[in-house]
């Protein structure tokens, strides 16, 4: 069992999201502000719908923290759904058959979990599926990731993300920017993009898609620096850290693919143009001349920056309706909707940063099992010295 794990609970329009985190080292300075900062970042982004004007995500700490530090006990966090006040009747957990029948959803939306979930769990009301499959849940995952980030920070590991593509607009690649600069510049960009020209084109494209009742997806890149060599393991398939990051990324709602370093481009290059040659110097120890493989070999970190990209499909709920079939009448219909995001790639960038942060912090605690954060910091520092002398 991994040292650190978490579970989330909560429906999109229920009273709250809950996350329980177990296995955090004790004495970890635990900042509510830093979690709230990540939650606020996730709510922003050009192309979001009206729901984000209702929510004001902030975390409540319910257990495992006293006087600003973890105790080593499970940490329970809660994020309130402000929208719940409008949904109390619909989300009522008590038996309420009359109302339930009136408000039943029998029309599955293409691209959502609605139909598969209804068939699998035998629900005639697809709200019982869509409430949990909604990306509202990613707020809880960002809260867990924001805690992981606090561990990484203490061990000299930094993370940043940016949007590389929205629809047909691709950002020019900006090479060798310090992560602090990526964080600063993306914070100022409504689409979290480093290329000012592409940024404007992306926003225009989102406006156009919205006007046409359509939606857009894109590509997000996350970079992690300061990772020691040897997180993850080659010895068993489920201990390979690149594979675990891949799962975490594809588990984000609407994410369909993942690549590391040059990724899919490796298929068309020769081996000599892909593999990262090994170098050594007294100051740096072992390092690589290039980082085309994005920081992984054999499921373990190479010590070079982790570079991972995720692709998000366009939002499935469209104002321009798609064809579907009513599960009662079996008649075709065209879905009409009340509200939706038209593009959530910038928000998803924040989700991806935080789920990647979680996987790395978990791998760090696996390599350096520690009951207190000071032990962890010592263990990592000593290991880094040993690696330099190897
Ligand atoms: C941050 C974020 C916001 C999203 N907002 C919406 C939305 O407003 N409307 C919608 O139909 N889908 C939205 N999605 C995508 C759906 O949740 C997702 O496509 C759906 O649950 C089906 O899962 P799958 O696409 O992973 O198969 C959003 C996804 C993310 C990551
Ligand atoms: C609530 C969030 O995103 C939601 C994700 C989502 C979906 O179907 O995934 C649909 C929309 O919800 P609603 O139907 O209530 O407008 C988004 O707003 C959030 O990101 O916090």
CA 81 – CA 204 distance, rounded (Å):
31
CA 318 – CA 136 distance, rounded (Å):
18
Instruction: Please report which confidence band the pLDDT of residue 341 belongs to, taking 50, 70 and 90 as the band edges.
Output: very high
Three-state secondary structure readout of 21-78: EECCCECCECCHHHHHHHHHHHHCCCCCCCHHHHCCCCEEEEECEECCEECCCCEEEE
Q: Which class is domain 5-389?
A: alpha beta
**252 Cβ inside 6 Å of ligand 2:** no
Q: pLDDT value at position 97?
A: 72
Q: What is the position in ligand 2's atom list of the atom closest to the CA of 130?
A: 8
CA 183 – CA 254 distance, rounded (Å):
24
- Cα pseudo-dihedral 261, 361, 182, 348, rounded to 10: 80
DSSP 352: H
**317 Cβ inside 6 Å of ligand 1:** yes
DSSP 3-state of 143? helix
For residue 207, report the distance from its CA to the centre of ligand 2, in Å: 19
The ipTM of this complex is 0.99
Q: What is the average pLDDT across 337-352?
A: 93
pLDDT digit string (tens) for 279-334?
999 999 999 999 999 999 999 999 999 999 999 999 999 988 899 999 999 999 98
Q: pLDDT value at position 1?
A: 53
**347 Cβ inside 6 Å of ligand 1:** yes
Task: List the domain boundaries for the chain.
Answer: 5-389
Q: pLDDT value at position 2?
A: 60
Whether pLDDT at 35 is above 70: yes
Q: What is the position in ligand 2's atom list of the atom closest to the CA of 339?
A: 16
pLDDT digit string (tens) for 114-142?
999 999 999 999 999 999 999 999 999 99
48 contacts: CB under 8 Å, gap ≥ 6: 341, 343, 344, 347
Most ligand 1 atoms within 8 A of CB, residue of 257, 315, 352 to mutate: 315
pLDDT digit string (tens) for 60-105?
999 999 999 999 999 999 999 999 999 998 898 888 777 778 889 9
Total residues found in the chain within this entry = 390
**339 Cβ inside 6 Å of ligand 2:** yes
Instruction: Please report which confidence band the pLDDT of residue 34 belongs to, taking 50, 70 and 90 as the band edges.
Output: very high
List the residue whose alpha carbon is closest to atom 20 of ligand 2: 136
Q: pLDDT value at position 96?
A: 73
Specify whether the CB–CB gap between 362 and 259 falls below 8 A. Answer: no
pLDDT digit string (tens) for 202-237?
999 999 999 999 999 999 999 999 999 999 999 999
**38 Cβ inside 6 Å of ligand 2:** no
For residue 119, report the distance from its CA to the centre of ligand 2, in Å: 22
Q: pLDDT value at position 99?
A: 75
DSSP 3-state of 84? helix
């Amino acid at each position: 069992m991994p040292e650190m794990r978490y579970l989330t609970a909560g429906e999109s329009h229920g009273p709250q999201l809950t996350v329980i985190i177990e296995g955090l080292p004790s004495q970890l300075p635990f900042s509510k502000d830093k979690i709230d900062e990540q939650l606020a970042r996730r709510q922003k982004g050009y192309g979001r719908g009206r729901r984000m004007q209702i929510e004001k995500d902030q975390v409540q700490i319910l257990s495992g923290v006293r006087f600003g530090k973890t105790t080593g006990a499970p940490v329970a966090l809660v994020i309130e759904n402000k929208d719940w006040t409008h949904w109390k009747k619909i989300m009522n957990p008590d038996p309420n058959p009359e109302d339930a029948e009136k408000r039943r959803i029998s029309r599955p939306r293409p691209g959502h979990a609605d139909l598969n979930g209804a068939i699998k769990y035998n629900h005639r009301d697809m709200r019982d599926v869509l409430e949990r499959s909604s990306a509202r849940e990613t707020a809880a995952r960002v809260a867990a990731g924001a805690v992981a980030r606090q561990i990484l920070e203490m061990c000299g590991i930094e993370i940043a993300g940016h949007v590389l593509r929205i629809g047909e607009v691709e950002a020019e690649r900006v090479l060798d920017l310090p992560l602090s600069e990526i964080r600063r510049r993306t914070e100022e960009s409504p689409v979290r993009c480093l290329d000012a020209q592409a940024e404007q084109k992306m926003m225009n494209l989102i406006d156009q898609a919205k006007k046409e009742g359509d939606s857009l997806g894109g590509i997000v890149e996350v970079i992690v620096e300061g990772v020691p060599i040897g997180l993850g393991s080659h010895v068993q398939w489920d201990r390979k850290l690149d594979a675990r990051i891949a799962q975490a990324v594809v588990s984000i709602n609407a994410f369909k693919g993942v690549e590391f370093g040059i990724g899919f481009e490796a298929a068309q290059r020769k081996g000599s143009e892909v593999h990262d040659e090994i170098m050594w110097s007294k100051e740096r120890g072992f390092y690589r001349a290039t980082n085309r493989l994005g920081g992984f070999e054999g499921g373990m970190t190479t010590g070079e920056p982790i570079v991972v990209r995720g692709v998000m499909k366009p939002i499935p709920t469209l104002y321009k309706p798609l064809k579907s079939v009513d599960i009662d009448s079996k008649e075709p219909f065209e879905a009409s909707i009340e509200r939706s995001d038209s593009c959530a790639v910038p928000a998803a960038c924040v989700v991806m940063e935080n789920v990647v942060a979680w996987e790395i912090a978990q791998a760090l605690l696996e390599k350096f099992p520690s009951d207190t954060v000071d032990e962890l910091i010592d263990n990592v520092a000593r290991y880094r010295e040993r690696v330099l002398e190897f």
